[in-house]
């Protein structure tokens, strides 16, 4: 949520759908005459999450996702509850590491001063709304939670250790770099991309496939002789007519037609294909004539020993290891925690949910 907080936290540490239960309406009155404004939705160790807080998070999540079925709504609700529990567990774990509260508050002061420098009152209000908070106090609390979570994540991943020895070995061995390079080499390559122009004739529009083939063959010869292919698309085409048959940039693996892919293997700028059939449900549905409007050459993967590639490989491996260690650490926090869920709601622990998602 807050940019640069990971770096700030590192510096601090080194220095030192079943819907959610409904929120009670403000006017609701109990038999004893008490007026109910809120209630306890979750208990995470010694902290509570109120119905009002959970419903605020739920409303924000609904605005960022579509839940068209009850199953979708239940999944969204479970995600919100799980995220809330995780935020509290990781924030608590960060506090337990012994970082001086005064250092955290001083860091928050500095961050807010720099962030708000030059902001008008309305701009500050807009920033609060973007971050899902209502006032400066909520903003400070949100930043405070993010700092403590970052401190814990950096500790458990071995990015920092404070006064202690590093808790994790983050050194990437040469063999690990080489393995990561060859496993992911294809992802470092930039494929050639093409802008194509299609003249597609639908067989049914000409009575049958044989007639459509005769027409396509004649039109292709006219294009070879200098006729305007775009004009033929306007008159006869059945694909991207509003753009005179011209596509956006596409790579070969984005093209469905095998004939077009084969044509592009040896094509050059301006090349015109033969008349090629296209198929629907294994039957000829019509014919394509394709021209290469523009061709952008691809690039091979950088050499393994290049400095940029070495840095990218090292950071990629370390980031992956960090994610694994943080995930394992979060599972341990969950296993050791006292968690009371809203009445009638059951949430599977994170490891069980991950296992279910893989099935």
pLDDT in tens, 79-104: 999 999 999 999 999 999 888 889 99
pLDDT for res 75:
86
> Do residues 322 and 152 touch, judged by C-beta distance below 8 A?
no
Q: Which of 62-66, 140-144, 282-286 shows the lowest mean pLDDT across its residues? A: 62-66
pLDDT value of residue 41: 86
Write down the pLDDT at residue 24: 52
Q: Residue ranges of the domains in the chain?
A: 5-170+321-358, 193-296
Residue 162 has pLDDT above 60, yes or no: no
Residue 20: band (very low, low, confident or very high) from pLDDT cuts 50, 70, 90: low
Question: What DSSP string describes 74-139?
Answer: HHHHHHHHHHHHHHHHHHHHHHTTT--HHHHHHHHHHHHHHHHTT--HHHHHHHHHHTT-SSHHHH
Strands (E) located in the chain: 40-44, 47-50, 193-202, 250-251, 276-280, 283-296, 339-340
CA separation (Å) from 250 to 92, 141, 231, 292, 295?
A: 49, 47, 23, 11, 10
pLDDT category, 26, cuts 50, 70, 90?
Answer: low
Mean pLDDT in residue range 158-171: 74
Q: Which of 20-34, 248-262, 310-324, 326-340 has the lowest mean pLDDT?
A: 20-34
Is residue 32 over pLDDT 90? no
For residues 128 and 110, give the distance between their C-alpha atoms in angstroms, rounded to a whole number.
Answer: 17
In whole angstroms, how far apart are CA 2 and each of 28, 111, 338? 37, 10, 29
pLDDT for res 165: 65
Per-residue model confidence as pLDDT tens digits over 308-349: 999 999 999 999 999 999 999 999 999 999 999 988 888 899
Mean pLDDT to the nearest integer, 214-233: 95
pLDDT for residue 72 is more than 50: yes
Over residues 191-212, the mean pLDDT reads 93
Average pLDDT over the chain reads 86
Confidence at residue 28, expressed as pLDDT on a 0 to 100 scale:
54
| Spatial contact of 210 and 271, defined as CB atoms under 8 Å apart | no
Is the pLDDT at 63 greater than 90, yes or no?
no
**Can you give the pLDDT at residue 18?**
45
pLDDT at 172: 94
| Residue 221: per-residue pLDDT | 96
Instruction: Determine the pLDDT at residue 256.
Output: 87
- Domain covering 5-170+321-358 assigned CATH 1.10.4030.10 in the classification: yes
In the predicted structure, residue 283 carries a pLDDT above the cut 80: yes
For the domain made up of 193-296, give the CATH fold: Chitinase A; domain 3 (3.10.50)
Mean pLDDT of 218-242: 93
What is the average per-residue pLDDT within 155-170? Answer: 76
Q: pLDDT-derived band of residue 219, with 50, 70 and 90 as boundaries? A: very high
Can you give the pTM of this predicted structure?
A: 0.67
Confidence of residue 30 (pLDDT cuts 50, 70, 90): low
Instruction: Give yes or no for residue 23 having a pLDDT over 80.
Output: no
Each residue's pLDDT tens digit, 224-233: 999 999 999 9
- The DSSP secondary-structure symbol of 299 reads B
């Amino acid at each position: 949520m807050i940019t640069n907080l990971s770096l700030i936290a590192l510096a601090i540490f080194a220095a030192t759908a079943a819907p959610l239960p409904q929120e009670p309406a403000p006017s609701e009155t109990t038999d004893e005459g008490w007026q109910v404004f809120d209630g306890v939705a979750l208990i995470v160790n010694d902290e509570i999450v109120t119905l009002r807080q959970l419903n605020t998070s739920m409303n924000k999540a609904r605005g960022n996702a579509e839940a068209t079925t009850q199953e979708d709504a239940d999944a969204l609700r479970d995600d919100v509850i799980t995220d809330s529990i995780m935020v509290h567990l990781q924030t608590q774990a960060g506090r337990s590491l012994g970082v001086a509260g005064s250092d955290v508050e001083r860091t928050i002061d500095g961050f807010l001063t720099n962030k708000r420098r030059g902001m008008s009152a309305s701009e500050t209000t807009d920033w609060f709304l973007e971050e899902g908070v209502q006032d400066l106090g909520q903003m400070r609390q949100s930043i405070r939670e993010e700092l403590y979570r970052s401190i814990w994540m950096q500790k458990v991943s071995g990015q920092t250790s404070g006064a202690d020895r590093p808790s994790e070995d983050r050194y990437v061995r040469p063999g690990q770099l080489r393995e990561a390079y060859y496993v992911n080499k294809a992802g470092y390559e930039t494929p050639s991309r093409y802008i194509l122009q299609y003249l597609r004739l639908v067989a049914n529009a000409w009575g049958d496939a044989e007639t459509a083939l005769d027409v396509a063959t004649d039109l292709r010869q006219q294009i070879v002789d200098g006729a305007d292919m775009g004009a033929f698309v306007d008159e006869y085409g059945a694909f991207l007519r509003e753009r005179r048959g011209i596509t956006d940039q596409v790579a070969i693996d984005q093209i469905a037609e095998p004939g077009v892919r084969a044509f592009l293997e040896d094509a050059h700028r301006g090349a015109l294909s033969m008349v090629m059939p296209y198929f629907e449900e294994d039957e000829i549905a019509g014919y394509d004539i394709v021209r290469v409007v523009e061709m952008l050459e691809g690039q091979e993967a950088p050499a393994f020993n290049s400095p940029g590639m070495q840095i990218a490989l090292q950071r990629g491996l370390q980031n992956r290891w960090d994610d694994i260690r943080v995930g394992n650490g979060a599972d341990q926090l969950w296993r050791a925690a006292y968690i009371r869920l809203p009445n009638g709601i059951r949430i599977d622990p994170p490891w069980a949910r991950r296992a279910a998602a893989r099935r």
